[in-house]
Amino acid sequence: MNQVDLLPLLAGQPEFVQHLIVDIVPFAVALLVILLLRWLLTALLLRPLRYIVARSASDIDDRILDASVSPLRLAVVGLSLFLVTEMFAFDVAIQQLARTVARAVLVASVFFALVRWFEVLSLQPETFRRMTGWTIPERLLPFLNTVVKFLIIALGAIFVLQELQFDVAALIASLGVIGIGISLASQDTVGNMFGFAAIVTDNPFKVGDFITTPAVTGIVESVGVRATRVRQLDQALVTVPNNLLTNAAVLNRTRLEKRRLDATLNFTYSTSSEQLRAAVSQIRELLQNTEDIDPESVIVHFVAFAESSLNVRVICQVLLSDWREFTAKQEEVFLAIMGIVEDLGIDFAFPSRSVYIESMPENEDDRDHIRRAMRDHETGQTARDEAQERDSSLPDAGSATT
């Protein structure tokens, strides 16, 4: 229908006035239709729905209704374009364009509503488990929620572009080529993201755990999408890419349920067999009756005739995972063992060597030669003992980092 026919008063007006009014009228009518539909939406639909959801005990329906307001208003704009296009006799090209835009707006409003509803509902561990039977860690939820939201937006963009008469297949193919180039350039970033998913899913460690890897040793402070931050014992903060952690062996010391005490006691050869039997028996009894030591794990045996000592091996499992508590218990056990050894009159051995001369030669020069050799041997042995003592006084790197 022609706008001039709808408005007879325009027949007597100049042509430029007719064109001006004809251009303004559809815009004004479209604006009035939008305002009318928005009023109907608020008065006839949203207000009764708000009254109904307000009476429920849960707040989820209230949040869903609030999230639906903006998508409904966008849908009103698309519906108004349809109505105005049908009311006025526009050119075929204009009508086709208006209908295409209206359909695109309606499709966009649908996906806009899906995004808003997903923001309200999102993925929850208990809800996801009831729906799928799978259990997902809470740390993975922000990552999964972002991925699902991105997929909804991407799918909505494809449908909107299709309504706008774009060649979606060619566009996707072009994006695929571009995506290959981007993926090659950002493969480390993608690998770190998958590493984050693997860390959260396998849960080899969590924030606060003390871990040891080939790259770093320290306490985990945060696990991000790209990298994990670890505080070393020297208080330096190290940022490790997630893909390195997923491809490396990770020793989690925090999750130790017990620690192994393993020591070798060296007694002198002057120790009698009775003394050694008593020492082994009393040390075994001590460990079996000590608190926080698994009695089933206690192993105490005379194991070797060494070069300069009689060796007794002591092994047990201490039921303490904390390193400080373990070292305190180890100190208590070692002091108790020293008390047993002292009470039995046994001496601990140290590296030494005894030289026995069956007879001295009659020639004085030969005697002097033997004396010099013995002095040289004693001097060398003393130097070796001092070097060994210096080495033993150095801090143990393994103990310092544990």
Tens-digit pLDDT profile for the chain (402 aa)?
A: 445 454 555 555 555 455 555 556 666 666 677 777 777 766 666 777 777 777 777 777 777 878 888 888 788 778 777 777 776 666 677 677 778 888 888 888 888 888 888 877 766 666 666 666 666 666 666 667 777 888 888 888 888 888 887 776 776 666 665 666 655 555 666 677 777 777 777 778 888 888 888 888 999 988 887 888 999 988 899 988 888 888 888 888 888 888 999 999 999 999 999 999 999 999 999 999 999 999 999 999 999 998 889 999 999 999 988 888 999 999 999 999 999 999 999 999 877 666 666 666 666 666 667 667 666 666 655 555 555 555 544 444 333 333
The tokens for 71 are 């998508």
pTM comes to 0.47
Domain 196-254 listed as CATH 3.40.50.10860: no
The domain made up of 256-352 has a fold known as Alpha-Beta Plaits (3.30.70)
315 contacts 261 by C-beta, under 8 angstroms: yes
- Residues 332 and 260: their CA atoms lie apart, in Å, by 15
Neighbours of 255 (CB within 10 A): 13
Q: Start-end ranges of CATH 2.30.30.60 in the chain? A: 196-254
- Residues 97 and 292: their CA atoms lie apart, in Å, by 81
- Which residues is 321 bridged to in the sheet? none
Please tell me the total number of residues recorded for the chain in this structure: 402
Q: Smallest Cα–Cα separation from 79: which of 99, 94, 55, 96?
A: 99
Q: Start-end ranges of CATH 3.30.70.100 in the chain? A: 256-352
Residue 333 confidence (pLDDT): 94
Residue 399 confidence (pLDDT): 39
Residue 398 confidence (pLDDT): 39
- The amino acid that residue 244 corresponds to is L
